[in-house]
Structure 1
Amino acid sequence: MNRETRAIVGRRVTGLPPFAVPGLVLTFLVLLGCLTAWASTDVREGTKTAQRPMFLADWIRLVREHPDSAALRLSLARAYRRRNRLTDAIFSYSAALHLDSGLRAAVFERGEVLEELGRWNEAAADFRQGMKSKEYRERSLLGLARVQIAAGREKEGGETARRVREEFPENPVGYSLGGAVALEREEYETAIAFFSKALEKDSNDLRNVVSRAFALMKAGRFEEADSDFSRLLRNGSDHPLLWLDEGLVLFHLGRLDEAERYFRTVLYRRADTTVILEAEFLLGAVKFLRNDTDALSYLKGFLSRRGWGAAASPYTATLLYFEYLRVGDEANANRILHLALTRLKDRTWPFPIFGFFAKEISETDLLRIAGTSDRLTEALAYVAWFRFLRGDRSGAARLVRRLEKEGERTMVEYALARRLAERLRRDGKM
């Protein structure tokens, strides 16, 4: 069962600029007598009296009193932004720019807000304007690269990220963005190199560790991925996907007891349903490979709870079918096979695998139907296990050897076949 690539690199790679009032605005307000210090000395009493900070209502009142002040409208936009009233913030930034088109801070910050709202093209236009300012050029280039990547224009985003690396070689985010583009293109070795370079510039940015760990996993470099995932979890990272991916890495390394612990951890946390389903399937695969006494009841329980509509259900049914074959229960094995052939009514993949189990299609036809490398990996792995459980160990070994040459190394089925290969080698069949 393969998974879609998860873009772990956050859309917001850099932090927001500070919301402190610029010195020019502060001077303007003091001259107007509209803003006092947070703590002032009362000369007559010789004591300090605390003054309250500015609230949104204060900025609104000041703008009403001084409608022609671009600086006040900029401050109001920032106040709206602090309160996550992003549409109001955009309106105020635009009003400030209407009064003073040269207010570069308003252009750049409006671009960031537009980015937060997913209005990529408008954000890109503002970041291009911001690039004309020396003060905002670096951050605007980064913003432009981010929105280009987010909008699916990886080629443009990659080119902009390259400009960041050329003009600002010490900024790690330029390398992070290069890695993000490589991840989108599934160029995992390139992504690993970029994220490693970013970590050379800033070893404390765990976002690059997350991204590199994922790229290492997708590249099949599981030992190194384990090192990065372990570092993240030691640092208190608690996202369910990290626990799931660390468990998956350990599953590929054959460290099944440790993998089980991580999969169970995912189940105890509030996670997306898709993540929970994957953890449940992988836990069943662990039990199957270890030949646990409760493997049969666990796999039956999955289908009972989840039904046949979940993406993992046909694959769980395959393991359940194998478990019945292992214990010699032909009647229930045939029952599961019949259910699969009737419940998977659209006859799409992986239906043909069950057709092979039922002797409706040949092995040759199944492997031809598979087509893609992902499906070929699944077909080779499950047919190999079928032949092994039916006593055809030489046939199983033949299929495993082909899978080791042609299979996708990062798929769960590849790991299932690798564990089978270990058994066959112990028995002298490979």
Structure 2
Amino acid sequence: MRKNLPFALFTAVITLVLSLPILGLKLTHEGTKLVLEGATQSTYVYIFLAAAAVFLSQLFREQLNAAKAAVKPKGNILAKLMPPEEKRDMAGKIFFVVLLIAAVLIPFNTGRIWSDIATLALIYVILGLGLNIVVGLAGLLDLGYVAFYAVGAYSYALLSQYFGWSFWVCLPIGALLAATFGFLLGFPVLRLRGDYLAIVTLGFGEIIRILLNNLTSLTGGPNGIGGIPKPTIPMLQFDPEFSIVNLEFSRRAAEGNVAFHEFFGVPYDSSLKVVVLYLIALVLALVTIFIVRRLIRMPVGRAWEALREDEIACRSLGLNRTAIKLSAFTIGAAFAGFAGSLYGARQGHISPESFIFFESVIILAIVVLGGMGSQIGVMVAAVLVVLLQELSREFDEYRLLAFGMVMVLMMIWCPQGLIPMKRPHLQLKQE
């Protein structure tokens, strides 16, 4: 304990030195002047309690580490709950079917608020699976992934506003434009790895946000774009003649479209458009899961994993490093474009403030929490993160603190994520 005393005092003093100016002082306006004021008494109490906690944790760190090792479970808890290897495929299929049935029934057994939250969770599932390709499989740290998300959202908003194109036409266009930006980003980062790659992608994300903020004549600047139409459903009409009409789920349909309740002769229900949007998000999430699953089993998926494990060995095997990196950035960005178009349809209004750096952090946290490269882990983490965000809205000032604490606990208890990616394991027979 004595040998830890100097370092414990040092860390406590550093905590006070950093916390007192940041939390204990603030600038306020008095007319045209800035006045420096102190914080409340409770704030100072919290600062000194934090310093005391840091002091005690460093003073008794050996005892704390021993206690942590005693209570820390050996191995991943969720991995232990999974069935044996020979039964895992069948159990996974049964679990997926049960989960799909439950997902379909969610909007019919909950209110519109929870259906809307479930839609947001599915959007983050798509984003997490897309970033999982870049970070989890290819091992390329991307901190500007939100830029592709913004490209997809603004593509749908602008194309629907200026050309009147429907959601189903803009959806692949948004994914294609986002993939194009991902392809263009891939070229300048071909020779970068680690922290350098993270800095360049972070800069790219900020460049896109600043462009959206400054191109006022096109994007509306800080005010954003409003009045984004909800998705419509194409329907065949045989009376009075054979034609295709777009069904809207609003009370009054736009010119050229037909209201859903008028087409089927049923009473108008305002919650129906939330249900339909959720089902569309569910279909797009299932398409994303299927495509990513197929890509992982294809040679390009094996190439991503080879690049992640050892880039030099990957090149020695004759694999084209340039093509592998570009394919990861391009395909990952395409899924962000999908999610962006869906987000614009859900919100009805977007602005550059919807695509700040913190969104990239959230998506990256989903990949890390779920397990690098693990599909089911990313999906579970996306749902948990969205629920954590929604349930902590009453404590808005402490949301980041709670989120950081959850991340730290996860790294202590499950450093490989909730459900780590299962890799092939070969063992030579012992003679």
TM-score (norm 2): 0.20
Larger strand share, 1 or 2: 2
Bigger relative contact order, structure 1 or 2, given CA contacts below 8 A and separation 6+?
2
